[in-house]
Every structure is written in C-alpha cells, then in structure tokens.
Amino acid sequence: MIVFVFIASLLGLMALGMPVAFALIGCGLAMMLYMGISDPQIIIQNMWDGANSFPLLAVPFFMLAGELMNAGGMTRRIITMAMAWIGHIRGGLGYVAVIAAVIMASLSGSAVADTAALASVLIPLMRTAGYDINRSCGLIACGGIIAPVIPPSIGMIIFGVTGGVSITKLFIAGIVPGILMGLAIMLAWRWSIKRDNPRVEPKRSMAERLVETRNALWALVLPVVIIGGLKFGLFTPTEAAVIAAAYSLFVGVVIYREIKISDLFGLMYRAAETTAVIMFLVAAAGVSAWLITTANIPQQLAEMVEPFMGNKMLLTAVLMLLVLIVGTALDFTPTVLIMTPVLMPVIKQAGIDPVYFGVLFIMNNAIGLVTPPVGTVLNVVCGVAKVPMTGVIKGVMPFMVAQITVLVLLVVFPQIVMWPLAMMSR
C-alpha cells in the first residue's frame, strides 16, 4: 500500500501542475501521514542532509564553466574546427554536429546548454544548405544528450551522491558509452540522408584546418586535463569542476578576449539560477529518499522482480525498460533523484556492479530528454530552430532508436562499459 501512496501522491501532485520539487515534498508528507510520522523536523533535516554534500559543489562550477565556454568562444571554435576538417563531405554538417557534441560533452556535462549552443550555430547553416530541418533538429538533440554520459557529467555527480557510488569511476566508465552514442547517431545520419542532396561546404586546405585546430586547442586541452587529473588522483571531481570554471574564465577573458568583466555577473547569475533549481530538487528528493528507505519500498520492489534476480542481464533489461518508460514522463534530474534510492538496493542485492548500472541508468535518463511528451532537449532545439514539436519528434526517431540500440548492446555486453576502468586501474 505504501508504494501506491508514494506513486499516487507524486503523480497526482505533478498532474495538478505542482513543480516537481514541491511534489516531492508533498509526496513525503503523504507518506509520513500514512506511516503515522508527525515530526515536521524530518522534512527540514532531510532536505538539509540531501543538499549538504561536498561533491554537489561540482554542480554550480560545471554550470558556470558551461556558461563561460559558450560566452568565451570555446564552443564556436570547436564547431569551426570540425567544419574545417569534415564540412566538405556529403552530410558533413551532421557529422560536424556530432563531433562537436562529443567534444562539448567533455567540457560542460549539461545536455540543455550543449544543445542550445549547437543548435544556435548549426541550425541556420543546415537550413541554408538544404538539409531536412526536422531531421537536423533531431540529430542535434540526440547529439546534445551525450553530455550527461561523457565526463564531466552533472547527472553522474547527482547519481553518485544519491547512490553512494564513486563519481570518478562513473566518469571513467562513461567515456566509451558516450562515444558509442555518437557513432550510432552518425550511422543513423548517414542512412537517413541517402535520398537528400544538400549543399556541402567548400573543402578547406590543410593550412586552414591546422589554423582552426590551433584556434580550438585551448578548448581541446581541458578534457585531457580533467580526465588525466582524475585518473592520476590529482584532484577530485569537485575540484575538477573548479578547475574547469577557472580555466574557461581564463581562456575567455585572457586568451580569446570575448568575455568582458561586465559580462561576468550575467553569466554567474544564469549559472546560479540553474544550480538553484537542481539543488532544490536534490534537497526535496532527500525527504522522499529517506521515507522510501524507512518504508522499505526497495525490498518490496525486490520481491516484485524476484523472478529476474537470478539473471543479472535480464534484471538489468527489465529495470532499463522501467527507467525508459518513467523517462518519458519525468525530466532527467527528478528521475535520477526519485529512482536511485529505489533501485540501488535492488542492484546491490542482485550483485550488479553499481558503476556499470549507474552508467546505463544515466544514459537511459539522457535518452529520456528526447522522448515525448516531456523531452526537455526537444523543446530546447524546437525553440532555437522555431519549428513545431510534431515534426521534430518524427525527425528524432532514427537517432533515438540508434541510441537505444547502444543501450541494449551495453546490457548484453557489460564489459564494454567496465573496460576503461580495468585498463586505467593497471
């Protein structure tokens, strides 16, 4: 019965239009009333405990780093470099979008920010070149959702804190799946443009390519610094976020000189706004997470999936299907915060590696960002391109199917996810 109270109160409050954070608190109150708990301090204490975490300090700094990269010209130079190398081939702008998305994912970790930056630069070029605009929007949206999978990932930070999983290991394990997501949508793009005849960019000389690569070099160095520092234990993920923000500020102000001192307040304000939304969600989820544990909901879920407990692959597949369904109705961060305390005890009981599951879980939630009806990233790309959602939903389908295929591949072959960790631990 407590499971019904949890689900009904949460979905009921959200259906009434209540923001997710307040719905989580309301859900906690409903569970407290049902369980006969009347101490209001429980809510305040668990909200404080939920947000009072050193690793979560990485969130505002990575948010600020993303704002600084976009304003400082790092994003534009990455796209220009990719265009110099492959813009001249058939469908080149699509490949540019994916390569730029992968590189940008290794810088900011925010799907919404990366998608908005890519769409604002590439959509006008793709429209002028004669590409199908709905398909182009779908490609850029699916390229943008690689950001939560490739380190540094804000989603992995939230999952790691909520589930008690090593964020450094999650970062390293997310590299190969993120690259596979990019390759998969490249293949889908190649297949989907067979009947199109878009205009291609003029081929650049080797000298021009090297110039553009040199211009983007400052942006390309940052992922190496972050991953290398984490690998060799030079700094924690939280410290990596500070380094990313400071590096982006230095490059934008001193090297590229596209950020003025007068711009800093606005950039910090936007980063603070986004951080406030995320942190309030994290705090509110602390209440429901405590009550979920107290009500023993994970054990009830374990009893429901008991027929699959003996087969790790089958259990992972069932849970991934559940998360994929939930992701169509909930946004990325609420899904992570709500599902993690429910699923993690089941995962540990079944003997599934939490790092492996975490990567698949984050990847699945990232795909949820382009699944209707919510599809936050779809809304972003539609807003930038000024096109209706109905057409973009059709355009995104081949690329979403390609990324779901990668997810299925990783369920069947878990060693693909764990291989980088094994290599780096030697």
Q: Please write the tens of the pLDDT for every residue from 241-283.
A: 899 899 999 999 999 999 998 999 999 998 898 888 888 888 8
Is 69 a domain residue? yes
Higher per-residue pLDDT: 303 or 344 = 344
**What value does the mean pLDDT take over residues 10-22?**
83
> Domain count of the chain?
1
Under 8 Å between Cβ of 364 and 417 = no
Q: Please write the tens of the pLDDT for every residue from 304-318.
A: 787 888 889 999 999
Q: How far is residue 346's CA from residue 195's CA, in Å, rounded to a whole number? A: 47
- Residue-level pLDDT at 105: 87
**What value does the mean pLDDT take over residues 273-296?**
84
- Residue-level pLDDT at 338: 86
Identity of the highest mean pLDDT range in 50-59, 119-128, 179-188: 179-188
Q: How confident is the model at residue 425 (pLDDT cuts 50, 70, 90)?
A: low
Per-residue DSSP letters for 328-346? TTS-HHHHHHHHHHHHHHH
Structure tokens at 339: 């599902």
pLDDT reading at 426 higher than 70: no
**What value does the mean pLDDT take over residues 233-244?**
86
Is 12 a domain residue? no
**What value does the mean pLDDT take over residues 91-111?**
87
Is 343 a domain residue? yes
- Residue-level pLDDT at 424: 65
Is 32 a domain residue? no
* Residue-number span of the structural domain to which 356 is assigned: 39-424
pLDDT reading at 199 higher than 90: no
- Residue-level pLDDT at 182: 95
The residue behind tokens 């305040």 is: 44
**What value does the mean pLDDT take over residues 77-103?**
89
pLDDT reading at 147 higher than 70: yes
Is 25 a domain residue? no
Is 402 a domain residue? yes
The whole model's pTM is what?
0.88
**What value does the mean pLDDT take over residues 175-186?**
95
Is 17 a domain residue? no
Can you count the helices (H) and strands (E) in the chain?
21, 0
First vs last Cα of the chain: how many Å apart? Answer: 49
397 Ramachandran zone, left/alpha/beta (phi>0; psi -120 to 50): alpha
Is 252 a domain residue? yes
Q: How confident is the model at residue 114 (pLDDT cuts 50, 70, 90)?
A: confident
pLDDT reading at 3 higher than 70: yes
Buried b (16+ CB within 10 A) or exposed e, 38-49: eeeebbeebbee
Instruction: Provide the mean pLDDT of the chain.
Output: 87
Structure tokens at 404: 């779901």
Report angle CA 212, 216, 219 to the nearest 5 degrees.
170
- Residue-level pLDDT at 2: 74
Residue 128 neighbours by CB under 8 Å, 6+ apart: 199
- Residue-level pLDDT at 54: 81
Report angle CA 12, 15, 19 to the nearest 5 degrees.
100
Q: How far is residue 224's CA from residue 107's CA, in Å, rounded to a whole number? A: 10
